[in-house]
Structure 1
């Protein structure tokens, strides 16, 4: 039996040697396809609900956003901590220029809308005086608003809602969070697919040498597509803590990279999500936006009334009390509407003062293994069986292709050595 198998191996050596290579390619391709299916396409491609596919992470963007948020809030950083690092006076200095321009613009707009005739007839010096008096108190209003916000931050700003909202509305960003976090791990999955597939291919080659069952090649293909993905996932996350075997120190790839992952993840969060611009937008448009609006309105209206001074009854009598109140309300609405763009100049100071990247990096590095694993593991756990099943199905199809090819080649008559010699001798005639 052994001699017959060895004779067959020699006669079809290249066919046999192709098995480990083919198996390695199957392992690599199925693993890479599985990774691609996790993140792409961003939107459903095909005919919903079943005939087509959407990447697992973008399809469950809301849930994935909540998972990513749970890594950040509340155990690593809180609303109170963020705002306590901002000095109201420093914020006022940083944005005083844009704020004064905004005040100038809004005074003009409101007066033209409510009292165009009166505003047109006023001398330039009178107009400038009105605007100047309002501008003089603008910095005080900004500082008062910042102080009030910092003292009541939990009632006016929801960091969790901001993070989830930012990620859920941007599927490309939620993909980026997981892809950047597990960059090395995803590369490992692809490469290990080839190595493990090659090993299974060697086993397949030996098995096929001694027994050529029709089911054997498809079964091996299915096993390669399934096991290469399964084993790679295990090696990424297990063991969580280092284990020494002889001179080897074994630990899951993701956990081994905890300091590096923490640094990169923290920078990404600071640059893309917990940014001053996103925080300002969340404060003004988030679930507590009405409270923020009333707080700003209180300070702005106080300034307007104070600047009217003794002339307030006269002004109210001239344009009407209701119109005077409406003017104040409109001024507040315009200020709140244009604040996000106006306060961009505070970004550099706020980024430095809040220091989100360094804060998160240090705290992520200190997380226990099970909590740290939650940064990436959920991306694999969601519908993981589908990815493994697809890998197994692809491997099975390749196995069937191998079987068909091998059967076809086996049916080709072998060329005897005498025939080869005759063909070579004929070539000498030319």
Structure 2
């Protein structure tokens, strides 16, 4: 091995030469930073090998010629010195640190714009990956892509994507309804708030209109029904009007009490909510966004600050380490870390935790009262409204037979009492069999008079808000967290992938390959445009 001689240099033995070549092999693979300090000791004599740029090689060995061509090490100078045995490792390391920093500063000065772009690009990557993660939670509502292969209730297809919330609406709605019915609402207690007398007063004037509508449809037909309807609506004696009004009121009050006693069998809250969410898959997303808008904004904006801080670390690594792939790997770390950190900060710690002077708790959990107000308002005004509840009672296959049976029983009492007053008892049964299905079918057209009273009296918004404010932090955390838990790993990995792509761009900027590639594409476009111009001139 040939060594450049100086005042304190001498040739090394063959054994030391092999050891040095092994060290060079490690450096050539890029395992150790190119400007690291390597210290060797032999026979109480310290040897130091220093890597520095822009210096000639001092060996002609094939190994060093290979190292010269390595992309990880641009230039090498091997200086071997024999120093006094009293110099220790720490003193040698400290004496060379300022030179490492000086080299990094010189490297930064040579291309400051390229290195300043690294934290800027990292900040954009952090913001963009988090923004895209939020969009992927809620959009698109319907699957977009090529439906070659899809899995049930999985947002990711072979070549496409559907928003996590729209894709998993049924499962998320089921979880939410279980929380509402077991912890927030007692359906039986809520419906006991309705006053049957008020319901009868409001709905009473609609009963003649309902019967008249049925009669108008039935008049062209022959049989007992047309004669009965004509007698009721066109030939009523004055003395019977008060009797009919009393029977009508009794019928409505009895029906209301019967519904209150059997509301558990008449109203399936789970089906009511899930059916609405499935009909409009954007509804559940709107609820989650209304409750967690501040957390979603934090998730997006935090990527900017986390990305910038991690980008500064990337820049420092790039200044001290020649391996350009550090930027791509760093980009993947930035994308993954920003998504992971933001998700953790939203929901953890669940319970307030004091660390020194700081009291830490998840951002979402700190806003329990505010979220309770937003959730209860949206749920009461858009999901559990009087109109939606009646629609579920009258149309849900699991509850409709029960309501039909209850309605027929009370209608039979009404018609028998009414027919008895006219002496038409023999036709009461036939009248009930004909009237009940028609009345149930037309009932939704006359319930609009009840909706304001029912919405106000049930007081679902106040009940939901009060109960939600009383929830423990652990239970309250389950209100919003499920939408992130469903595909939390997917969101984090997506951030890592996009960060890696952005790191490749950073790598191209740092090495100059990106500008070279863009320059070639620009020249190619100019040549193409010029060629087309020449062809057009010839023609």
The TM-score, its normalising length taken from structure 1, stands at 0.87
Match of 2:63 in 1: none
Q: Distance in 2 between matches of 1:339 and 1:87?
A: 20
1:411: how far off? 8.2
1:291 aligns with 2:402: yes
- Which aligned runs of 4 or more in structure 1 are off by greater than 6 angstroms? 119-124, 127-131, 409-412
Q: Distance in 2 between matches of 1:169 and 1:284?
A: 17
Match of 1:63 in 2: 171
Residue among 269, 275, 286 paired with 1:159 = 269
Q: Distance in 1 between matches of 2:385 and 2:462?
A: 14
Distance 1:8 1:147, change over 3 A: same
Match of 1:427 in 2: none
Bigger Rg, which one: 2
**Secondary structure in 2 aligned to 1:233?**
helix
The TM-score, its normalising length taken from structure 2, stands at 0.70
Q: Distance in 2 between matches of 1:114 and 1:281?
A: 33
Distance 1:187 1:411, change over 3 A: closer
Residue among 275, 279, 282 paired with 2:392 = 282
- On the 8 A contact 1:305/1:312 being kept in 2, the answer is no
Deviations 1:303-358 (A, max 9, x none): 22322227656864xxxxxxx75543332112212222311221221122111111
Match of 1:198 in 2: 308
Q: Distance in 2 between matches of 1:290 and 1:334?
A: 15
1:343 aligns with 2:447: yes
**Secondary structure in 2 aligned to 1:357?**
helix
- On the 8 A contact 2:415/2:431 being kept in 1, the answer is no
Q: Distance in 2 between matches of 1:57 and 1:297?
A: 41
Match of 2:235 in 1: 126
Deviations 1:23-71 (A, max 9, x none): 0110111011011111111111112222111111111111011111122
Bigger fraction of residues in helix: 1
**Secondary structure in 2 aligned to 1:42?**
coil
- On the 8 A contact 1:24/1:201 being kept in 2, the answer is yes
Residue among 109, 121, 129 paired with 1:22 = 121
Match of 2:210 in 1: 102
Q: Distance in 2 between matches of 1:17 and 1:76?
A: 53
Distance 1:249 1:131, change over 3 A: farther
Distance 1:92 1:184, change over 3 A: same
- On the 8 A contact 1:293/1:336 being kept in 2, the answer is yes
- On the 8 A contact 1:134/1:303 being kept in 2, the answer is no
> What is the 5 A alignment of 1:149-298?
149-286=259-396, 287-298=398-409
**Secondary structure in 2 aligned to 1:240?**
coil
- On the 8 A contact 2:133/2:491 being kept in 1, the answer is yes
Q: Distance in 2 between matches of 1:344 and 1:128?
A: 31
Match of 1:368 in 2: 472
Q: Distance in 2 between matches of 1:390 and 1:152?
A: 50
1:282: how far off? 1.8
Deviates more, 1:391-400 or 1:5-14: 5-14
Distance 1:328 1:204, change over 3 A: same
Deviations 1:234-286 (A, max 9, x none): 11111112223343322110110001001110111111111111111222222
Match of 2:57 in 1: none
Q: Distance in 1 between matches of 2:229 and 2:451?
A: 38
Match of 1:309 in 2: 420
**Secondary structure in 2 aligned to 1:244?**
strand
1:81: how far off? 1.3
Structure 2, unaligned runs of 5 or more: 1-99, 151-157, 517-539
1:90 aligns with 2:177: no
1:157: how far off? 2.1
- On the 8 A contact 2:508/2:515 being kept in 1, the answer is no
Match of 1:359 in 2: 463
Match of 1:7 in 2: 106
- On the 8 A contact 1:111/1:119 being kept in 2, the answer is no
Match of 1:423 in 2: none
**Secondary structure in 2 aligned to 1:52?**
strand
Distance 1:114 1:393, change over 3 A: farther
1:300 aligns with 2:404: no
Q: Distance in 1 between matches of 2:231 and 2:208?
A: 21
Distance 1:95 1:64, change over 3 A: same
CA RMSD of aligned residues (A): 2.6
